[in-house]
Chain A
Amino acid sequence: DIQMTQSPSSLSASVGDRVTITCRASQTISSYLNWYQQKPGKAPKLLIYAPSTLESGVPSRFSGSGSGTDFTLTISNLQPEDFATYFCQQSYSTPWTFGQGTKVEIK
C-alpha cells in the first residue's frame, strides 16, 4: 500500500493567515493526489483533485500543487469557516489511501 504522510499533524493560525499543509507519498503517485476538508461531526468534503484543480464551489483561496511524492495544500487569507481537519488521498493505485490528517485550529 502507498503510505501518505501529512505534516504538520496540527497547526494554529489566525484569520487572514496563509497556511501550508504538506503531504508526502511513500512512492511516486504522479499527480493523483486529492485534498478533503472535514469539520467536526461531518463527512469529508472534496476540495481539490489532481492535485491543483478546485472542485466546483470551492473558494479560490484554496490551492494545491506538487507531483511525484510531494504535495502542498495552501490556504491564503484563512477564514473562520476554514478551521477544520484536512486529509490528502492518493488515487494512483488501489487500495486508495489517505493521510492521517492535519487539524487547523484557531490561534
Chain B
Amino acid sequence: QVQLQESGPGLVKPSQTLSLTCTVSGDSIGSGGYYWTWIRQHPGKGLEWIGYIQYSKNTYYNPSLTSRVTISEDTSENQFSLRLTSVTAADTAVYYCARGARKGVIVADTFDYWGQGTLVTVSS
C-alpha cells in the first residue's frame, strides 16, 4: 500500500520560505511512471495544484506560483520536497503531497494517493 506523509513547520513568518517534505512508502519515487505532486487547500476553500516532479529531475509548476516554488527529491530517502519563497498570509493552507498517476484508455492524469495534509500558517 502506497503511503505519503508530509512534515515540516506549521508556522512560517511572512516573507520567509515555506519548506515541506513528503516521505513515501510502498513505492519508489525514482522508479518513474508516476509524478510526485504538491497540492494545497486554503481554509474552507477548493484545491490548488502547485506542481510536480517526475523522472528524478523533471519539474512542472503552476504558472501562478512558478516564480516562488521549487520541488525537489531525494531518492535515497524516498522523499520529495516543496519550497515556497516570500510567503504571505495568502499562502496559509493545508498542503498535501500526492502521487500523480495516468489512468485509463485516454491516459488521464489523476491523484490516486494522498498524504493526510499539513496545515501551514503564515503569520508573524
For chain B, the count of residues having a C-beta within 8 Å of the partner chain is: 24
CB distance from B42 to the nearest CB of A (A): 11
* Chain B residues within an 8 Å CB radius of A95: 49, 62-64
Residues of A within 8 A of B (CB): 1, 30-32, 34, 36, 42-46, 49-50, 53, 55, 87, 89, 91, 94-101
- Quick one: which of B46, B64, B104 contacts A50, CB cutoff 8 A? B104
In the complex, the answer to whether B117 meets A53 with C-beta atoms within 8 Å is no
Determine chain A's interface SS by DSSP, over half rule. loop
What residue of chain B has the Cβ atom nearest to residue A101's Cβ?
A: B46
Interface membership of B90, Cβ < 8 A: no
Q: With A49-B104, A49-B110, A91-B108 known to touch, is A43 a contact of B96 (CB < 8 Å)?
A: yes
* Chain A residues within an 8 Å CB radius of B110: 34, 46, 49, 55, 89, 91
- Quick one: which of A31, A43, A100 contacts B106, CB cutoff 8 A? A31
CB distance from B47 to the nearest CB of A (A): 4
CB distance from B41 to the nearest CB of A (A): 9
